[in-house]
Chain A
Amino acid sequence: MAVELTADQPAGFSPPAAHVLEQTLAIARRAIVRTTRQRALIVFPMIFPLILFAINGSALSSATRIPDFPTHDYRDFLIAMPFVQGAMFVSITAGVDLARDIESGFLNRLSMTPIRGEALLVGQLGGALVLGVIQAIVYLLVGLATGVSFASGVGGALVLLALSILISFAFASLGVLLALRFGTGEAVQGIFPLLFVTLFLSSSSLPRNLIKAPWFRDVATYNPVSYLLEGLRSLVITGWDAQALALGFGFALALLVIALGLAQAAMKSRLTRT
């Protein structure tokens, strides 16, 4: 899709909405092509959560013998984890891609054009969104193939896909924010362990009410990642749990809005600086 980017508009000129949409789509197309061309970026982040799912799904299966464990098959409990873990990998992909544009000077060159910051920001997330969709579908299919059954039925599987994609988009926005703030891929990758910590310090391996150490249970309760996992998990184990879903969607949306809002401000500041 060719986008006409003319430099002779007067200062303060605001392009019409259709123009902004075209700009967004052009940037998104570039982001998607770039992401799909880097197969290592797709394969490794997708496979790693599946390896952990396969290993922990069997290695921790005896946890289902703990009194009050909510399911008899640990894989039903664990299937939520690859979705969130994959979303965290998506955040790094999105962040590193944008950081590379900053480091290579591509963003500087774009700032010389009339392209809008919002178009640049949302467009950059296009590749991450595609990655999130592919991952969510693969994880769902692998889960079904390994015997995970949905208490909420086919509708629940679709809602799980929607929530998973929203979570990926939210984490991708966080990755973009980090890239805009720090400006280097190395810094974005350096943050990744912290994201991983939030996953492990949540209800990822056991339900919160079965966590024995009180301090760990408290940390998991205050950790929003627990609610993302529990929202996804409720569709598999419980069925239609309005509270778990509201919290899951709510925290994912909150992360998206906050990260995108801050990223937009950071983008403005970076475009001004350049």
Chain B
Amino acid sequence: MSRFVSVARGVAWRSIHNTLVNPAILVPSIVFPLFFLIAFAGGLSRISDVPNFHYPPGYTAFQFVFVFLQSAAFGGVFTGFAVARDFDSGFARRLLLSAPRRSGIIAGYALGALGRWALTGTVVTIAALIAGMNVDGDGIQLVGLLGLGIAVNLAAALWAVGLAMFLRTEQAGAVIQMPVFVLLFLAPVYVPLSLLTGWIHDVAKLNPVTPVLEAGRGLLAGSPVKVTIAFVGLVAAFLVLSAFARRGLASAERAG
């Protein structure tokens, strides 16, 4: 166990350190969510005037939850890019040779993703509060929202790290990123599910991200909905993606 912890701690420290000291990695991961918050909450705020749009804290809060969870997901995805880069540079192979407990590598990268998102999530939250976001949820509900973000971040990190270990090249970036991006945008991003029409409504209804987003918005508004469904779904995703990441690691081990 101690060997697992020491590997995880070492990999996590390196991942967070690399993010903090490299502006080319740090800046986009902070700027993109901020930019989405500005574009969606600022540019599309008129959408809240659509008949039957009802979200008491307002459109900034409505969009904040999406951007908050999106930044969590992309914190995980960007960590997958780092893993791919480590394979391209040869570092990952040396790490596989030297780590006494290799499953600690996955845990380390996942913790690194969490550390990376801690910074981004904080910046996005401060920006939303400065922009005048209303928060109607109480302390416990806000902790619930944070819990959703952490679970999304870990699930996305396991997906990205697993796939990066399977593919072992930086060119895998689009393959890692695209499914997450599409899944997020096929949820009710701009209006509540009830206001979506046509195929996007049918897809959003089946999309596992939808209950997570609705739960987050409910928690921020102080009227929780679908919280249990969201957490059960995320725990299931965590278990499935942990197995996927473990298989990715096994594939990398076989490749040598």
Contacts and interface: CB of A to CB of B under 8 A. Distances in A.
B32 A65 contact: no
Interface of B: 24, 28, 31-32, 35-36, 38-39, 42-47, 49-51, 53, 174, 182, 185-186, 188-191, 195-200
Given A59-B190, A61-B198, A215 B46 contact: no
Contacts of B42: 213, 215-216
Given A58-B196, A62-B191, A205 B50 contact: no
A272 to B, nearest CB: 30
Contact of B46 (A44, A201, A211): A211
Interface of A: 44, 51-52, 55-56, 58-63, 65-67, 186, 190, 193, 196-197, 200-201, 205-206, 210-213, 215-216, 220
Contacts of A211: 43, 46
A205 B43 CA distance: 8
- Chief secondary structure at chain B's binding surface: helix
A65 B50 contact: yes
Contacts of B49: 66-67, 212
Contacts of B199: 58
Contacts of B200: 55, 58-59, 61
B185 A62 contact: no
A60 B186 CA distance: 12
B174 A44 contact: yes
A195 B174 CA distance: 19
A66 B44 CA distance: 11
Nearest to A207: B46
A248 to B, nearest CB: 20
A56 B47 CA distance: 13
14 contacts: A58-B200, A59-B191, A60-B190, A62-B190, A62-B196, A63-B190, A193-B31, A193-B32, A197-B35, A205-B39, A212-B45, A213-B43, A213-B45, A216-B43
Given A55-B185, A61-B198, A201-B39, 6 more contacts: A51-B182, A58-B197, A59-B200, A63-B46, A66-B46, A205-B44
